[in-house]
Chains A and B, each alone.
With several copies, the nearest count.
Chain A
């Protein structure tokens, strides 16, 4: 079983983003997706901290200390980009103006629930950031993550065991093993398998029933 590495996962997501979409990318693998959307396919990246039209990371000698993304990394602004304040930024999110948000996750459930912010209800000080706003507000929520935890635990599950970020929000999951759609009333449907991965293998690595078609 080969599967995708992290870069290939990011590239696989990037393939599916059409020109003209407003897209918010979470921290981690989601951030890497931007590297695989060619600049001539105009996808407009949104950042919670008040940016539309984010561009790639700057050359080390051209870093602008005033310009960071939601992960606090130096970025650039494309021609046509704009800045605005946090309430306007989240008006875009909450108001349903963002076509797509891609987040990482601890778990995604067959009913579209996502858990990505806290590992226990007793977590001493969980950091939620903008994840709940994005989960509830974006038109579509996709997840990109490793198919299992490092010690083989399930992240594709029937029901989330960790505290939810947003119920019923995820419509697609990209992992190192393949691409799953989350279909209402049905659950996970395998849309695509990573190179060298069989259905049986991806099913075996999942804590929920996977469907074909």
Chain B
């Protein structure tokens, strides 16, 4: 019997190696796998490259992981959210590397990694400093830059429901980067609000098929999110 449901955070985090590229879902607090990030802090892997839309806020979660010196590099579109104090400090001190990627290019680079496309062309960033050093090329009279797939060793995602085959659904705008990151990583770990019996999810409405998911951990995020 296939059973991707794990019973403990330790099992969820087992085997994440130093130097891994970790994709972290969410857009702000919504769809962010808070508990798994805490689990990663606990687990101890270091020298990480983290890919997330934002560079953490306050001194918890991703910000805490950075503060502990465990993040070598961050790849994101919007590092300067309100309250991204830890990142700003580390960046000023030269203690963290930053790669700024336009949000849509970031999503598409991960989708490409998941879909076996090593590189693609986009008009986004053409004529800006973010295109510096990138190959450019004209198609039908318009200029595009070439962007490369962005693959993860690990993806931490949040979902609404999950089953033992790893099928996931998302709630409302909690979907955001999560399905794309699930596709793009070798080891995708999902924190879910609800475990469903196999067959309970409507086959037409599975948002991330289990082929993209290796581990599912049920988390109680509390009544505010229920």
What is the interface of chain A, defined by CB distance below 8 A to chain B? 19-20, 22, 40, 42, 44, 46-53, 64-68, 72, 77-87, 89-98, 118, 121, 124-133, 136-137, 163-168
Given contacts A44-B210, A94-B115, contact A125 B98 (CB under 8 A): yes
Q: Which residue of A lies closest to B106 (CB)?
A: A86
Residue B43 at the A interface, CB < 8 A? no
Given contacts A85-B177, A164-B128, contact A90 B27 (CB under 8 A): no
Pick the residue among A77, A83, A125, A132 that contacts B80 (CB under 8 A). Answer: A125
Q: Is the CB of A97 within 8 A of B211?
A: yes
- A-B contact list, 8 entries, CB within 8 Å: A53-B203, A68-B173, A72-B27, A87-B108, A91-B116, A127-B78, A133-B105, A167-B128
A-contact bits for B1-21, CB 8 A (1 contact / 0 none): 110000000000000000000
Q: Is the CB of A64 within 8 A of B103?
A: no
Q: Which residue of B lies closest to A78 (CB)?
A: B199
Q: Is the CB of A91 within 8 A of B172?
A: no
Q: Is the CB of A85 within 8 A of B180?
A: yes
Give the CA-CA distance A44 to B108 in the complex, in Å.
24
Q: Is the CB of B103 within 8 A of A129?
A: yes
Q: Is the CB of B1 within 8 A of A52?
A: no
Residue B85 at the A interface, CB < 8 A? no
- Not counting A67-B173, A127-B77, A166-B128, a sample of 11 additional A-B residue pairs whose C-beta atoms are within 8 angstroms of each other reads A50-B173, A65-B225, A78-B199, A86-B107, A87-B107, A90-B107, A90-B115, A94-B108, A94-B122, A128-B101, A167-B127
Q: Is the CB of A66 within 8 A of B30?
A: yes
A-contact bits for B193-226, CB 8 A (1 contact / 0 none): 0000011010110110111100000000000110
Q: Is the CB of B27 within 8 A of A42?
A: no
> Which residues of B78-108 have CB atoms within 8 Å of chain A's CB atoms?
78-81, 87-88, 91-92, 98, 100-105, 107-108
Given contacts A50-B176, A53-B165, A124-B91, contact A80 B108 (CB under 8 A): no
Chain B hits for A81, CB < 8 A: 203
Q: Is the CB of A49 within 8 A of B173?
A: yes
The smallest beta-carbon distance between A33 and chain B, in angstroms, is: 18
Residue B134 at the A interface, CB < 8 A? no
Chain A hits for B123, CB < 8 A: 94, 136-137
Q: Is the CB of A42 within 8 A of B2?
A: yes
Q: Is the CB of A82 within 8 A of B167?
A: yes
Residue B24 at the A interface, CB < 8 A? no
Q: Is the CB of B103 within 8 A of A68?
A: no
Pick the residue among A20, A125, A167 that contacts B2 (CB under 8 A). Answer: A20
Given contacts A94-B124, A130-B104, A164-B127, contact A66 B209 (CB under 8 A): no
Give the CA-CA distance A72 to B117 in the complex, in Å.
28
Given contacts A68-B27, A136-B125, contact A48 B203 (CB under 8 A): no
Give the CA-CA distance A87 to B112 in the complex, in Å.
10
Q: Is the CB of A128 within 8 A of B100?
A: yes
Pick the residue among B28, B100, B176, B180 that contacts A126 (CB under 8 A). Answer: B100
Give the CA-CA distance A127 to B102 in the complex, in Å.
9
Pick the residue among A19, A84, A136 that contacts B175 (CB under 8 A). Answer: A84
Q: Is the CB of A22 within 8 A of B174?
A: no
Residue B163 at the A interface, CB < 8 A? yes
Give the CA-CA distance A200 to B87 in the complex, in Å.
46
Q: Is the CB of A48 within 8 A of B103?
A: yes
Chain A hits for B210, CB < 8 A: 44, 52, 80, 82
Residue B70 at the A interface, CB < 8 A? no
Q: Is the CB of A65 within 8 A of B30?
A: yes
Give the CA-CA distance A50 to B169 in the complex, in Å.
14
Pick the residue among B124, B199, B211 that contacts A137 (CB under 8 A). Answer: B124
